[in-house]
């Protein structure tokens, strides 16, 4: 299977290269959608891909992510934020996943470390839909706490309540993926992975 990495960014010159370096060689295509950067974000992005697009910000994270997904051409779409990191061990898991993922898989979920204590140990972890099969036409929903619906018309809450800022500054996320038992929900075959992403 092949993967299109789809990202939305704005003023991420400090962290974008670190994120893209962490997935180098593990994804087959990189799509970067810029929502209005005034720094070197787009210049940095073009050092990794020629698929860099502008998207006028309309106060809707899902609209921007759906535009990025629409530019993808590989078998699966994968999303990351610019301050996310795929640690080396997790990168190897992703490479193995690409060789072993059954073709009938629609969605792969991965763990996501987003908050850390003073020693760098994760204190908050969620599970997110990380890979989606492009031919299934999945769409993001919710303008702020965007997600891929777990069933038709339903968007499961995966983040804490509150107003989300466009310019988030978290510790890098780490994504880890390993194959666990699959289940079918709403006609979609979902597989859990042991891969873990980290937000730094």
pLDDT in tens, 45-98: 999 999 999 999 999 999 999 999 999 999 999 999 999 989 899 999 999 999
pLDDT band, residue 178 (cuts 50/70/90)? very low
Kindly report each contact of residues 150-155 with a partner whose C-beta sits within 8 Å and lies 24 or more positions away, as own/partner.
150/185, 150/186, 151/185, 151/186, 152/186
Report which of 80, 9, 74, 75 is spatially closest to residue 46, judged by C-alpha positions: 9
Report which of 53, 62, 11 is spatially closest to residue 33, judged by C-alpha positions: 53
Tokens of 153: 């018309």
Across 141-146, average pLDDT:
90
Q: Using only C-alpha atoms, what is the Rg of the chain?
A: 16
pLDDT at 199 over 90: no
- pLDDT recorded at residue 110: 87
- pLDDT recorded at residue 150: 58
Top pLDDT among 194 and 168 is at 194
pLDDT at 154 over 80: no
Across 15-24, average pLDDT:
96
- pLDDT recorded at residue 117: 74
Give CA–CA dist 98/176, Å, rounded. 14
Give CA–CA dist 128/192, Å, rounded. 10
Cα–Cα distances (Å) from 129 to 14, 24, 90, 158, in that order, read 26, 21, 16, 10
Give CA–CA dist 117/103, Å, rounded. 39
pLDDT averaged over every residue in the chain: 81
Residue position matching structure tokens 């492009």: 134
- pLDDT recorded at residue 190: 62
């Amino acid at each position: 299977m092949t993967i299109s990495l789809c990202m939305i960014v704005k003023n991420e010159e400090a962290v974008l290269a670190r994120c893209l370096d962490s997935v180098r060689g593990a994804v087959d295509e990189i799509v970067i959608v810029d929502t209005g950067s005034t720094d070197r974000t787009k210049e940095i992005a073009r050092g990794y891909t020629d698929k860099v697009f502008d998207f006028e910000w309309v106060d809707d994270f899902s609209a921007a992510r759906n535009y990025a997904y629409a530019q993808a051409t590989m078998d699966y779409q994968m999303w990351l934020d610019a301050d996310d990191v795929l640690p080396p061990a997790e990168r190897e898991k992703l490479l193995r996943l690409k060789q072993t993922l059954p073709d009938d898989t629609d969605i792969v979920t991965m763990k996501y470390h987003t908050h850390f204590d003073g020693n760098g140990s994760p204190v908050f972890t969620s599970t997110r839909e990380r890979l989606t099969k492009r031919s299934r036409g999945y769409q993001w929903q919710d303008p702020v706490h965007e997600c891929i619906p777990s069933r038709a018309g339903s968007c499961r809450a995966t983040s804490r309540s509150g107003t989300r800022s466009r310019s988030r500054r978290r510790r890098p996320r780490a994504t880890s993926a390993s194959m666990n038992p699959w289940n079918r929900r709403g006609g979609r075959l979902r597989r859990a992975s042991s891969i873990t992403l980290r937000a730094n």
